[in-house]
Copies of this chain bind each other. A is one copy, B any other.
Amino acid sequence: MTKTLLALSAAALCFTMPVLAAAQVPGGVYKYPAQAEADAALEFDRAAWDFVEGVTTEVGPRQAGTEAEARGRDWAVKWLKARGFQNVADEPFMMDTWVPGDTHKAEITSPFPQPFVIQPLGGSASTGPDGIEAEVVMFKTVADLNAAPAGSLEGKIAYISHSMTPTQDGSQYGFAGPARWVGAGIAKNKGAIATVIKSVGTDYHRNPHTGGTTFRNADGSTDVGRVVPTPAGALSLPDAANLERMFERAGDRPITMKLVLTPERLGMTQSGNVVGEIVGTNPDLPPVLLACHLDSWWNSPGAFDDGAGCGIAAAAALNVQKHGQPLRTIRVLFAGAEEVGLFGSTAYSEAHIDEPIGVAYESDFGADRIWRFESNFRDTNPDLHAELAASVARFGVADSTIVARGGADINIARDQKTAIIDLQQDGTRYFDLHHTPDDTLDKIDPVQLRQNVAVWTQITGILANYEGSIQGD
């Protein structure tokens, strides 16, 4: 125990000491472009907080394709212009829009009548205002659901559980996520008239985790015009636990649930990507692209997901500008309609595929500390990779051999097969908040937010002033 505690104390010291050391490198010369600005950001940055406080307070929830998302874009355009970004634009695109509707109710009607807290999954059909009532069949895992015989869920409501653990790297999202991503579609193809899932999350609050679910045709296609979805919702984790206890206590008695979910499809509506630039001294060099997404689910003002990410990206660009006009243009991309299917990322890549970018990275995993640096050019440009990794070591960021794949909104970088960086954030509490009403400003730790800005400032300072090919080819 003592050993552990001493290690913790040492870690606490290490977190502050390098900051002091970095302020004065040997010879009094800063080693990296924007090094002083990155150090200052760690202590004093206000821009990222101002962005996320502003967008959550003055706009609130920003469901993709709705007027609320449009208000968010207008707000972001004004914010970027007010802070001196150039070439600020709202680049529109059309999307097939789903909205959650007004009524979200679930109740057990027998043998233990009581209300549950539920929210619809993105893409859910409506039960109609009168709702539906049916027996619930429980599956502990998606594998169990897959093993159910064809037709065995005829007229039933499927309930799909999972067992998700908090992980620093968020990897259990891949383990537990299928309950939401594909569970309802599988259940429907076995005859289920609706699906409820245990929220894909790691908290214990009566706030369900929504998120998209995908229904497929018999041929595996998912186009909305042809697929007929069923109602699908997520129970809060305490309600899911209660339902599972009911199965233990009900014996042979069937458990019946009444479900009222009234989502709607609005057809094609407008969304958009907001962009802005710090223009570089050499516009011929491919820009550095800093991405995030501006939309949120309807049920929260989207602080962790992803107002913080846009604040971090914008603040880093502004900090690098303080160091002096960069060599390359720094472009921020606040993507629209990420949550509901990456429509913004797709639209941005389609619109700009012929404009090569130099490197792209995205912040979309909350606002807790960055702990790991990854790139996809460690092999092709090892010197730059090593320099970047070394430059953020003082902020507690470790190097990694993992090949960066990039966030959801930098499809263009994958499509152009260009350089990508991942600045991995600590996701330990991310899935306590992800897609829940609880994703509010108070969840953001200003100290950790500033560490993000410091790391992004340092990385961007180096890349925006790098003359050669970032990928090294």
Question: Which residues of chain A have a CB within 8 Å of any CB of chain B?
Answer: 1-2, 5, 9, 53-54, 56-61, 68, 71, 108, 111-115, 117, 204-207, 237-238, 241-242, 245-246, 249, 300-301, 436-438, 440-443
Contacts and interface: CB of A to CB of B under 8 A. Distances in A.
A259 to B, nearest CB: 16
A57 B245 contact: yes
Contacts of A58: 111-112, 246, 249
Nearest to A58: B112
A246 B57 contact: yes
Nearest to A5: B5
Nearest to A108: B60
Contacts of A237: 442
A250 to B, nearest CB: 9
Contacts of A115: 60-61
Contacts of A245: 53, 57, 441
B440 A242 contact: yes
A242 B114 contact: no
Given A206-B437, A245-B53, A301-B242, A59 B442 contact: no
Contacts of A114: 59-61, 68, 301
A58 B301 CA distance: 35
A305 to B, nearest CB: 14
The 7 closest A-B pairs by CB, nearest first: A60-B114, A238-B440, A206-B437, A57-B245, A58-B112, A204-B442, A205-B205
A1 to B, nearest CB: 6
A5 B246 CA distance: 42
A57 B443 CA distance: 31
A436 to B, nearest CB: 8
A207 B205 CA distance: 9
A442 B245 CA distance: 12
A60 B107 CA distance: 11
Given A205-B205, A242-B301, A60 B112 contact: yes
A76 to B, nearest CB: 15
A132 to B, nearest CB: 18
Contacts of A205: 205, 207, 438
Contacts of A207: 205-207
Given A205-B207, A207-B207, A441 B238 contact: yes
Nearest to A303: B238
A205 B114 CA distance: 22
A59 B249 CA distance: 12
B437 A57 contact: no
A249 B438 contact: no
A165 B447 CA distance: 22
A113 B60 contact: yes
Given A2-B5, A238-B438, 13 more contacts: A56-B242, A57-B112, A57-B242, A59-B112, A59-B114, A60-B108, A60-B112, A60-B115, A204-B442, A206-B207, A206-B436, A238-B441, A238-B442
